[in-house]
Amino acid sequence: MKALKIRSGCPISSALDIIGDKWSLLIVRDIVMNGKNTYNEFLKSREKIATNVLADRLSLLEATGILAREEHPESKAKIFYRLTDKGIDLLPVLVELILWANVHLPIDEEAKPFGDRLRKNKEAIVQQFMAALKKK
Amino acid sequence: MKALKIRSGCPISSALDIIGDKWSLLIVRDIVMNGKNTYNEFLKSREKIATNVLADRLSLLEATGILAREEHPESKAKIFYRLTDKGIDLLPVLVELILWANVHLPIDEEAKPFGDRLRKNKEAIVQQFMAALKKK
DNA sequence: TAATCAACTTGTTATTTGCAAGTTAATTTG
DNA sequence: CAAATTAACTTGCAAATAACAAGTTGATTA
């Protein structure tokens, strides 16, 4: 696993030291928005993360307290990856990325209605997702 | 310059295709929070970006419409990098990263009061920064 | 019991980063 | 006004990271 290097005490810089890459927040997205929780489910996402990169990011996200590995309720062969409170608190970052992309990037048509709903009702939707994640 | 690869039509994935790295948002931060606007000012930040990486990111941010290169009001030798509206709209993302880091990461003591203010008065502060950036 | 599945690891190649040094045009200094 | 300095890069090279293909190990299913 690659080591975590902290470049400065700046909050933005420190946040990017952990989640500033192309894959970490996609794993968080898959848990929050797509109900995924296992290695193989993450692998199947359309962005096609490489197996070694996925393993590396999962261990980094675990090491930084964003994810926790738990035993899967249905099978001893599977590992259930769950977001910690620290991980759940990344949801507002995801939301702002979605809102920005909805306005400024070409994205899937199917994704737009959710962005529009978010725009009009951000707080409530964020609270609802957070509650759903913390509950279980 | 490295090419921009879009992995999917997912808003989060597409946003990360552009700003999902350790440096791009630090350049945006330097403009928004630290009043920097030139190559050499960006170079002097404490995270110590390499010169070739800075040049690469500046051209990528320009190519994706986040930054615009303008002539510097004080000198023909300098280039004035300004955020476009698309770049200014990244401010809420920065804000959520700051809020997350303030709660969950060890950061500079000096940075904490601003995070606390943000927490209590996010909307107003964001609007104020945006207005200041759009004005000039 | 054999094949399959889930979660990785390993090896190899391609890409990106970090670091040092060099380039060119504009500006300042002696 | 020639010489040094500044600003914005570019280039070359070694080191780190990512992508791709294949292999390993411990469940689970047929």
Give the mean pLDDT of B106-131: 97
Choice between B135 and A38, residue whose per-residue pLDDT is larger: A38
B86 touches A at CB < 8 Å: yes
Q: Which of A11, A47, A106 sits opposite B105 (nearest CB)?
A: A11
Nearest residue (CA) to C1' of D27: A77
Nearest CA in chain A to B48: A7
pLDDT above 90: residue A134: no
pLDDT score for A84: 98
Choice between B135 and B111, residue whose per-residue pLDDT is larger: B111
- Identify the CA nearest to B136 among candidates B58, B65, B80, B90: B80
3-class DSSP state for residue A2? coil
Q: Which residues touch strand C (CB under 7 A)?
A: A 38-41, 51-52, 55, 58, 69, 72, 75, 77-79; B 2-3, 21-23, 48-53, 56, 75-77
A67 touches B at CB < 8 Å: no
A100 touches B at CB < 8 Å: yes
**How would you write chain B as a 3-class SS string?**
CCCCCCCCCCHHHHHHHHHCCCCHHHHHHHHHCCCCCCHHHHHCCCCCCCHHHHHHHHHHHHHCCCEEEEECCCCCCCEEEEECHHHHCCHHHHHHHHHHHHHHCCCCHHHHHHHHHHHHHHHHHHHHHHHHHHHC
| Cβ neighbours for B2, distance < 8 A, ≥ 6 positions apart | B56, B60
Query: Mean pLDDT, chain A, as a whole number?
Result: 96
Q: Which of A46, A90, A107 sits opposite B100 (nearest CB)?
A: A90
Q: What percent of chain A has pLDDT over 70?
A: 98
Give the mean pLDDT of B118-124: 97
Contact B8 A46 (CB under 8 A): yes
Give the mean pLDDT of B27-49: 97
Give the mean pLDDT of A63-81: 96
Q: pLDDT tens digits, residue range A12-67?
A: 999 999 999 999 999 999 999 999 999 999 999 999 999 999 999 999 999 999 99
Nearest CA in chain B to A17: B22
Give the mean pLDDT of A7-14: 98
